[in-house]
Amino acid sequence: MILSDNDIKEAITSGGLKISPISDDTIRENGVDLKVGTELLRFRPGGEINLLDKLSPDKVYIKEEIKDSFVLNPHEKVLLKVYEEIKMPNSLVGFCNLRSTFARLGVSIPPTIVDAGFEGFLTILIIGGEEKVTIPAGMRFLHLVFSTTKTPVGKPYAGGYQKSKDVTGAKI
């Protein structure tokens, strides 16, 4: 079952779901809009990732602070930190969708799930389209839809991205 705006407000009020900061204008009909955060990782041109080397992914990123805006170049992929910190209860799963305004500009994201029990700042891969797009800091860009599990999960998320504070690259 997908949560409605009323269900989301109740989940936040009861303390099961935490999104901080949150405002009424970001709680939508059937999800929550999340905003562009303050950091991103760009891939180094010509970088090479060796999955046998645990530090290899760190060598291919260039970290940038987002002050007013950032430019997403054509076909470029960047890892973007969302502005809000999230704590999921053990009975909710989140589905990340790009807001349609961005999709209509050719921007995309791959399917992204927020597991039950996750807490921290999400890092989302954003993929540029045909045109260069300047994206302002703090703009709503992601729509997070919540679905309930039939029963609370027995093993909540405890992976390598748990309690992320910064934009986070791949971990091997």
Burial 107-136 (b: 16+ CB within 10 A, else e): bebeebebbbbbbbbbbbebebbeeebebe
Domain total of the chain: 1
**CA distances for 37 relative to 13, 29, 70, 89, angstroms:** 24, 23, 11, 23
Using DSSP's 3-state secondary structure scheme, residue 12 falls into: helix
Is residue 158 a part of any domain in this protein? no
The confidence score (pLDDT) of residue 103 equals: 96
**156 inside domain:** no
In a domain, 102, yes or no: yes
- Which pLDDT belongs to residue 52? 86
* pLDDT given at position 59: 85
| Residues in contact with 57: Cβ distance below 8 Å, sequence separation at least 6, in sequence order | 49, 169, 170, 171, 172
- SS3 state of residue 135: strand
Report the CATH number at residue 140. Answer: 2.70.40.10
55 within some domain: no
Q: Which structural domain range is residue 119 located in?
A: 5-44+71-148
In a domain, residue 170? The reply is: no
pLDDT in tens, the chain (172 residues): 999 999 999 999 999 999 999 988 899 999 999 999 999 999 988 878 888 887 777 788 999 999 999 999 999 999 999 999 999 999 999 999 999 999 999 999 999 999 999 999 999 999 999 999 999 999 999 999 999 999 999 999 999 999 999 999 998 8
Does 167 map to a domain?
Answer: no
Residue 98 inside a domain? The answer is yes
Q: pTM above 0.75?
A: yes
Residue type for 122, please? L
pLDDT value at position 117? Answer: 98
Residue 152 identity: P
* pLDDT in the model for residue 55: 76
